[in-house]
Amino acid sequence: MSEPKEVRNNNGKQSLLALDRIEDRKFQHDISDACVKKNSLVVLPTGLGKTVIGAMVAAKTLQIHPDQSKVIMLAPTRPLIDQHYKSFLKFLEIPEDKFSILTGKVPPKDRAEFFEIKQIIFYTPQTLRNDLVNRKYTLKNTCLIIFDEAHHASGDYPYTLIADEYRDQNPDGNILALTASPGASKKKIIELCHNLHIPVNNIHIRTRKDTDVKTYLKPMDIGKIGVNLTELMEDSYFAVKSLIEKRLHYLSQSGFLQKEPDFDKIIRKDLLKLNKELVDMVEGLNGDKSRVYSAISINAQALILYHMIELIEQQGLDILLIYLEKVYKDARKRNSSKAIKVLASEARLRDVYIELKRNEDLSPQYLIHPKYNVLEQLILQEISKAPESKILVFVKLRDSVKNIVEKLRTKEAIMPVRFVGQATKSKDDKGLSQKKQIEILDLFKQGNYNVLVSTNVGEEGLDIAECDLVIFYDIVASEIRLIQRKGRTARHREGKVIILYCKDTNDEIYLNIALNKLKRMNVNLKNPGSLRSYEKTQKRDHIGEAMVSTRSDTIPLPEKTGYEKKKAQYSLQSFLNSKENHPNDILLNSSLPMDLGIRNMLTEKGIPFDTGNAPAHMILFNNIAIQIYKAKHLQNDTEKLLTDVSTSLEELYQFLFLIVIFIDFKEGYEGEKRLLKRKLHEWNDMSSDKVKLITIDMVEELYYFIDNIYKHNKKKN
């Protein structure tokens, strides 16, 4: 690593950024500056340097916090963690021995030891969550946590628990969330912000059309190619559709399905919701449950048939045949479900199976989805035009991945490779270990393969070489996955995205849903006022529901200020009567403890501050000093310590406040707290008029006190 450059910021500390290794992009500096002192969400298209912004925020945050502060970087997968490790090592002027990767492969005892001695730590979220749950260490000295691929922060995913623990343990710690795709709806975006404790007005977004990022992105052509169902596909489609409609009518006539039993109006999601309702119904019944059990079985049959429809539309009849063979094989098993056995006995489904088997023997080309022929032509055209091209094909199902790779191998110019997750489904469908995944990706980069056929495992979290062409073989209605897939091209050179779909089917509907969600996401993110308005509405509705459910005789608790305002006003006017003109500023000593949350309090109240090597913890308007002590540190030599500090500081400043905090003070013997407070007040009575000692029992008192001093002085200036 090169020697650190003598670059210093306004607090006198040496810059931790290796500026000579970072391309100078103004938008990255603008975004990182805005994220340093407050929790923020950064939404950028892939290829615009979210990791660089993370490194910038890390460097700038470390400079305004105590020297031993830590930065944690979280990402969903080990390969992604490895990438971030290398990037931070490159972009930061921090010795490598201060870095560490902590995953489940490192024993818990060793993780605890590494955590104490390292400064920049990279985790998979499950590992950090487990360590926090088991109280291996705390986050009190962590000044920043970066949540990469932050759209995962929902439900039971570890990001949510980690953010909550961090907020509880370290109120002054900062959070930076990075993603290319936070979700389309206002509800999703706000949920993400709430889960990571980010105010909705702290969202920083750029799209490919924004003027300050256009020059850093290569052109991306996006095309759509639709195909029609073949006659054999249509026959199979309508046969399965008729079986679904039969079950929808049963559920409707039995009173379980509230919607009209129309195949075109009911989607798979409706049946999944109904399944949950039926299971809940069974658990709540005490009498005869047979009617509900029958509905559960019928609904399960409908869900299986819906899957067959998707296979016909998206994957092809050859994949449907593979699935039907599994159905008939499972139906012969003793422990097979009733739903599978009933479907296996359906004559119309048996007719479909027999017709597909006949074509497999006589005309196998009729089983192949017409999308495959388009896919093959697109790949051959790309390779003939640019032999060094790298092509990525996204496919939903592993059976289709295997099928497509086998067919592509028959073409001399095409060198395809299968890329799937780690789970092994069967002896014919083995998963790829992480080591094997990385090996395949390296061979893809080197040109040993030119076509990577991947399931959704390739959408994020892996270092895949930049691709010249990305093809969506099938459609997902998720705008998040659409963005992740698109991000695999047009990073450093021009790229193309082609989406294949089946006309006049759910495939086309899903495509339109995903594209509309993508537009809506950008509109919502660009309009924080709309998000705040929606957030207020949701809060108001929530409060209304709470009021309805609250007993009428409940008396609301008083606000937890913990500080009587009359007492707080005791003599501020007499202390804050300086005739000098003061700058509108607060200077914080970078060693100010983080667990008090003072930095975040100032930021939330919009009070400007800088950090540096100040003589006291806080300097207000150059003439008021505030020094903060925790009571447990004053149990010995109280008078000497206070006298030494006050003597040195009162000569420098017009007023000096010594604040002693009794939050979480644990008595060594009964009455120790009372005796220590008496000793402090006796010292205060004997001290100079320029010095005032205040004892505080709740953090809200501290916030209230600082806010009042600031406001009183600001009015006078």
Examine residue 151 and state whether it is found in any structural domain, yes or no: yes
466 residue type, one letter: E
**Which of these ranges, 24-28, 209-213, 334-338, 545-549, has the smallest mean pLDDT?**
545-549
What is d(CA 203, CA 396) in angstroms, rounded to the nearest whole number? 32
Q: Compute the average pLDDT of residues 652-660.
A: 88
CA dist 236 and 246 (Å) reads: 16
**pLDDT score of 437:** 86
**Residues 501 and 375 both lie in one domain:** yes
Asked if 414 and 384 count as a contact pair (C-beta separation under 8 A), the reply is no
pLDDT at 528: 64
Contact 74, 147 (CB under 8 A): yes
Greater pLDDT, 125 or 529: 125
Residue 273 maps to which CATH number? 1.20.1320.20
- Residue 153 CA to residue 195 CA, distance in Å, equals 7
The reported pLDDT for the residue numbered 639 is 77
Q: What are phi and psi of 394, to 5 degrees?
A: -95, 130
Q: Is 13 part of any domain?
A: no
Q: Please provide the size of the chain in residues.
A: 717
Segment 531-574, tens digit of pLDDT: 666 666 665 454 444 333 333 333 232 333 333 333 333 333 33
**Domain check: are 609 and 712 in the same one?**
yes
Of 337, 367, 397, which one is at a domain's C-terminal end? Answer: 367
335 and 397 both lie in a single domain: no
State the chain's mean pLDDT as an integer: 83
551: left (phi over 0), alpha (psi -120 to 50) or beta: beta
Q: Which two tokens stand for residue 708?
A: 């009042």
688 is in which domain, residue-wise?
565-716
- Cα dihedral 238, 244, 248, 251, rounded to 10, equals 160
468-517 pLDDT, tens per residue?
888 989 887 666 666 666 666 545 566 788 989 999 888 888 888 877 87
User: What's residue 425's pLDDT?
Assistant: 78
CATH code where residue 695 lies: 3.40.50.10130
Q: How many domains does the chain have?
A: 4
Residue 351 scores a pLDDT above 90: yes
Distance of alpha carbon 166 from alpha carbon 146, whole angstroms: 12
Domain match, 206 and 247 both: no
In the predicted model, what is the mean pLDDT of residues 703-716?
84
Query: Distance between CA atoms of 87 and 65, rounded to whole angstroms?
Result: 22
Going by pLDDT thresholds of 50, 70 and 90, the confidence category of residue 288 is confident
Give the pLDDT of residue 529. 66
Residue 145 lies in a domain: yes
Site of tokens 């594209």: 515
Pair 103, 162 in one domain:
yes
Q: Do 512 and 382 share a domain, yes or no?
A: yes
Specify which residues 611 forms β-bridges with.
Answer: 588
The answer to whether position 14 is within a domain reads: no
User: Token pair of 344, please?
Assistant: 């296996």
pLDDT of residue 549: 36
In terms of domains, do 335 and 238 share one? Answer: yes
Q: What is the pLDDT of residues 302-339, one digit of tens each?
A: 999 999 999 999 999 999 999 999 999 999 998 889 99
Residue percentage of the chain with pLDDT more than 70: 86
- Distance set, CA 233 to CA 195, 318, 359 (Å): 45, 10, 12
Q: Is residue 151 located within the same domain as residue 236?
A: no
- Compute the distance between CA of residue 612 and CA of residue 610 in angstroms, rounded to an integer: 7
Domain end, chosen from 320, 341, 367, is at 367
Are 115 and 258 within one domain? no
Confidence category of residue 581, pLDDT binned at 50, 70, 90? very low
**Domain end point (choices 474, 507, 525):** 525
Tell me how many helices (H) and strands (E) the chain has: 26, 19
User: Is residue 39 assigned to a domain?
Assistant: yes
What's the confidence (pLDDT) of residue 485? 67
H or E element that contains 706? helix 699-716
Domain identity same for 465 and 396: yes
**555 secondary structure, DSSP code:** P
Extended strands (E) in 445-546? 451-454, 469-472, 495-502
Q: Are 648 and 703 part of one and the same domain? A: yes
pTM of the model: 0.71
Beta-bridged to residue 120, according to DSSP, are 71, 99
Q: Tokens in use for 532? A: 């705040």
Give the DSSP per-residue string, 638-701. Answer: HHHHHHHHHHHHHTT-SEEEEEEE-TT---SSTTHHHHHHHHHHHHHHHS-TTEEEEEESSHHH
Q: Is the residue at 559 inside a domain?
A: no
Q: What six digits make up the tokens of 239?
A: 């046969």
Is the same domain home to 508 and 638?
no
User: In this structure, is residue 24 part of a structural domain?
Assistant: yes
For residue 140, give the CATH number of its domain: 3.40.50.300
Evaluate whether residue 543 is within a structural domain.
no
